[in-house]
Amino acid sequence: MADVKKLVTEIEKLTLVEASELVKALEEKFGVSAAAVAVAAGPATAAPGAAPAEAAAAKSEFDIVLKDAGANKIQVIKAVKEITGLGLSEAKEIVDNAPKPIKEKVPAAEAKEIEKKLKEAGATVELK
Is 115 strand, coil or helix? helix
DSSP state of 47: P
Whether the CA torsion 14, 18, 20, 24 is positive or negative: it is negative
Whether the CB-CB separation of 127 and 111 falls below 8 Å is answered with yes
CA distance 113 to 15: 20
Q: In this model, does residue 52 exceed pLDDT 70? A: no
CB within 8 A of 45, min separation 6: which ones? none
81's torsion region: left (phi>0), alpha (psi -120 to 50) or beta? alpha
What pLDDT, on a 0 to 100 scale, did the predictor assign at position 46?
A: 45
Residue 2 pLDDT level (bands cut at 50, 70, 90)? low
Q: In this model, does residue 38 exceed pLDDT 70? A: no
Neighbours of 83 (CB within 10 A): 20
Ranges 3-7, 33-37, 51-55, 92-96, most confident? 92-96
φ, ψ of residue 45 in degrees (nearest 5): -100, 0
List pLDDT tens digits, range 70-102. 888 999 999 999 988 989 999 999 999 989 999
Q: In this model, does residue 6 exceed pLDDT 80? A: yes
Arithmetic mean of pLDDT over the chain: 79
- Residue with the bigger pLDDT between 2 and 40: it is 2
What pLDDT, on a 0 to 100 scale, did the predictor assign at position 4?
A: 83
Global pTM value:
0.53
